[in-house]
């Protein structure tokens, strides 16, 4: 709840409004008018707000805090008008079952109010002098200015002011806020990545604390994404930190990945790794992936158009099969090992944003061993039989009864053996389907009409085709992950799909 008022704030009455039988804590912040600011004496303040805009933004801020800290009730009241020294200007109260959640929610509202609320204040000084101050710019003034915060980083020739501007404009998704995700997110936030989203459905456990450095013992039981976001906002109030306290699934992965400068795979299971890999490849977003076991780890940068993808590394192995033999969840782990790999993920991501060379230019697997401090790079060459970035392998000639677990990409021979199928020709902007040379009965659809593709493929055996064969394969894998078992992609290029030509 958020309110603007031109009347004196009654803190006792506001606190009474927050009383709940199940609340074990009430955290209150009071902002008073002081008699000085920036080294000058102050006699009084005048507050003026864009009324409707301020109310909408204030309500959004308090609602966000309640969503990110479940069980908290938030009330914020901001004064307008003329206020003498000692008067209450801002009152924020949070009621919760536990004090720690209330502290975090209250701090979040304080910081967001300073940054986002469209309120101006006029400072009156002795002798009649006065000046208007935009409260939203005060949060980034003085000691908290970007010039001060990033000064040592900007002084690097490889970064500079232009590079820092690239970081500020970047948007990064970190999936998994554990041993890898905590240090990775910390260094991305403090480097000045403008928008950072943390995705994790888990809650903090005591066994996490020896390696997941964003959490304290007080955070046990809290949602990882929410607790980590609160810590990072306190570490760098200049950037936007978002918490997605839920799993990444086939239903939401494309929305989470779309428009990102990079995605970090900090997970511990193969199902999510393959899901992120295919979604990033389809969306044209670089993926920075790491995994750790005991004292060793590996780092990969997957560029969307490069060969040597995740499917090449685990050729012919399904995610479910790999979970049984190579899942890192619950395995023994050396805390500094995940710390080192997480920091390396952050470094590779920052280099991607800045346009600097990454590990092997995205085609090298980097192996790290903290027992002997060795590091080794292994070329990640493409597998010619990879169904995603190479030429798919040939398969049995008879496949009319392929199970849902069958390979997603089919050869022309396999397609012929299927018998009657629906063929969807997926077109990029500027492409057309030649009806003469196209497969019989092929239906042309825009590549990005995901709803239309899904509806047509819901109940009919369907094969996706595209001009180069890559995006149709990635899209078929994503739809297969969503539960469309009878959807496939045709291997290789389809000459019948042609780009428009224009006469000069």
Q: What CA–CA distance (Å, rounded) separates 466 from 447?
A: 8
Instruction: Determine how β-strand 364-369 pairs with β-strand 374-379.
Output: antiparallel
Q: Please tell me the predicted confidence (pLDDT) of residue 325.
A: 42
Reading the chain (504 residues) residue by residue, the pLDDT tens digits are 999 999 999 999 999 999 999 999 999 999 999 999 877 899 999 998 888 888 999 999 999 889 888 889 999 999 999 999 999 999 999 999 888 889 988 988 988 888 788 888 889 989 888 887 766 555 555 557 888 899 999 999 999 999 999 999 999 999 999 999 999 999 999 999 999 999 999 999 999 999 999 998 888 888 899 889 989 988 998 899 999 989 998 888 888 998 899 999 999 888 888 889 888 888 889 999 999 988 989 899 998 877 778 877 765 555 444 444 445 555 678 999 999 999 999 999 999 999 988 776 667 888 989 988 888 888 777 767 676 666 433 333 223 334 444 567 877 777 777 777 888 888 877 788 887 777 777 888 887 777 778 778 877 788 888 877 777 877 887 777 766 777 888 877 777 777 754 443
Closest CA relative to residue 371, chosen from 398, 340, 407? 340
What is the number of other CB atoms lying within 10 angstroms of the CB of residue 211? 21
Q: Please tell me the predicted confidence (pLDDT) of residue 328.
A: 52
Q: Please tell me the predicted confidence (pLDDT) of residue 399.
A: 31
Instruction: Determine how β-strand 364-369 pairs with β-strand 296-302.
Output: antiparallel
Instruction: Determine how β-strand 443-446 pairs with β-strand 374-379.
Output: unpaired
Q: Please tell me the predicted confidence (pLDDT) of residue 25.
A: 92
Q: What CA–CA distance (Å, rounded) separates 380 from 315?
A: 13
List of residues 6+ apart from 105 with CB closer than 8 A: 27, 65, 66, 68, 69, 72, 74, 94, 96
Residue 349 near residue 188, CB atoms below 8 Å? yes
Residue 75 near residue 7, CB atoms below 8 Å? no
Segments of 24-155 assigned E as strands: 25-32, 36-37, 40-41, 44-49, 73-79, 81-84, 88-96, 119-124, 130-134
Closest CA relative to residue 195, chosen from 267, 263, 277? 263
Burial of 367 (C-beta count, 10 Å sphere; 0-12/13-18/19+): middle
- Phi-psi bin for 419: left (phi > 0), alpha (psi -120 to 50), beta? left
Q: What CA–CA distance (Å, rounded) separates 361 from 28?
A: 51
Residue 448 vs residues 254, 410, 427, 500: alpha-carbon distances, Å = 11, 22, 8, 18
Q: Please tell me the predicted confidence (pLDDT) of residue 28.
A: 96
Q: In 3-state terms, what secondary structure has residue 399? A: coil
Classify residue 333 by its DSSP letter.
B
Q: What CA–CA distance (Å, rounded) separates 313 from 305?
A: 16
Q: Please tell me the predicted confidence (pLDDT) of residue 387.
A: 63
Closest CA relative to residue 245, chosen from 301, 186, 175? 175
What token pair was written down for 403?
A: 């199970």
Residue 365 vs residues 279, 377, 386: alpha-carbon distances, Å = 20, 6, 17
Q: In 3-state terms, what secondary structure has residue 218? A: helix
Predicted structure pTM score: 0.66
Q: In 3-state terms, what secondary structure has residue 40? A: strand
Residue 476 near residue 482, CB atoms below 8 Å? no
**Residue 32 β-bridge partners:** 88
Q: What CA–CA distance (Å, rounded) separates 432 from 415?
A: 22
Q: What CA–CA distance (Å, rounded) separates 442 from 463?
A: 10
Q: What CA–CA distance (Å, rounded) separates 296 from 294?
A: 6
Q: What CA–CA distance (Å, rounded) separates 389 from 405?
A: 20
Which are the catalytic amino acids?
328
- Phi-psi bin for 170: left (phi > 0), alpha (psi -120 to 50), beta? beta
Closest CA relative to residue 17, chosen from 5, 6, 3? 3
What token pair was written down for 466?
A: 């595209």
Q: Could you tell me the domains of the chain?
A: 2-139 (3.90.1170.40), 146-379 (3.40.50.720), 409-499 (3.40.250.10)
């Amino acid at each position: 709840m958020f309110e603007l008022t031109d009347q004196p704030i009654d803190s006792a009455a506001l606190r009474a409004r927050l009383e709940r039988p199940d609340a074990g804590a009430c955290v209150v912040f009071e902002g008073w008018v002081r008699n000085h600011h920036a080294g000058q004496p102050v006699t009084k303040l005048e507050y003026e707000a864009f009324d409707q805009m301020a109310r909408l933004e204030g309500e959004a801020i308090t609602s966000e805090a309640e969503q990110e800290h479940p069980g908290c009730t938030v009330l914020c009241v901001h004064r307008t008008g003329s206020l003498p020294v000692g008067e209450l200007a801002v009152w924020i109260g949070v009621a919760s079952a536990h004090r720690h959640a209330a502290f975090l929610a209250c701090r979040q509202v304080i910081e967001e109010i300073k940054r986002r609320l469209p309120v101006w204040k006029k400072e009156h000084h002795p002798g009649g002098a006065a000046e208007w101050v935009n409260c939203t710019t005060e949060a980034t003034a003085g000691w908290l200015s970007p010039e001060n915060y990033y000064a040592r980083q900007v002084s690097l020739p490889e970064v500079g002011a232009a590079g820092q501007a690239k970081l500020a404009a970047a948007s990064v998704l970190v999936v998994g806020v554990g041993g890898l995700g905590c240090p990775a997110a910390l260094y991305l936030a403090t480097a000045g990545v403008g928008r950072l989203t943390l995705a994790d459905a888990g809650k903090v456990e005591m066994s996490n604390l020896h390696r997941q450095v964003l959490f304290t013992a007080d955070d046990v039981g809290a949602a990882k994404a929410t607790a980590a976001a609160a810590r990072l906002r306190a570490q760098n109030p200049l950037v936007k930190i978002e918490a997605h306290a839920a799993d990444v699934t086939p239903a939401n992965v494309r929305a989470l990945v779309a428009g990102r400068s990079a995605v970090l795979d900090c997970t511990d299971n193969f199902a999510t790794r393959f899901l992120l890999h295919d979604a990033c490849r389809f969306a044209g977003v670089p993926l920075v992936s790491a995994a750790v076991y005991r004292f060793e780890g590996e780092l990969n940068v997957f560029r969307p158009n490069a060969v040597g993808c995740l499917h090449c590394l685990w050729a012919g192995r399904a995610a479910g099969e790999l979970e049984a033999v190579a899942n890192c969840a619950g395995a023994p782990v050396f805390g500094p090992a995940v710390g080192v790999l997480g920091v390396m993920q952050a470094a590779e991501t920052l280099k991607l944003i800045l346009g600097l060379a990454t590990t092997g230019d995205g085609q090298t697997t980097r192996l790290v061993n903290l027992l002997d401090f060795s590091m080794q790079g292994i070329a990640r060459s493409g597998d010619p039989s990879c169904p995603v970035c190479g030429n798919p392998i040939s398969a049995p000639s008879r496949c009319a009864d392929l199970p849902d677990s069958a390979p997603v990409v089919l050869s022309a021979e396999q397609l012929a053996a299927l018998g009657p199928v629906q063929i969807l020709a997926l077109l990029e902007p500027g492409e057309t389907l030649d009806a003469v040379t196209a497969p019989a009965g092929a239906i042309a659809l825009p590549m990005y009409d995901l709803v239309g593709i899904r509806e047509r493929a819901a109940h009919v055996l369907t094969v996706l085709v595209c001009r180069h064969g890559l995006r149709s394969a990635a899209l078929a894998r994503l739809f297969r992950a969503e539960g469309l078992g009878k959807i496939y992609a045709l291997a290789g290029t389809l000459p019948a799909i042609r780009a428009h030509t224009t006469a000069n």
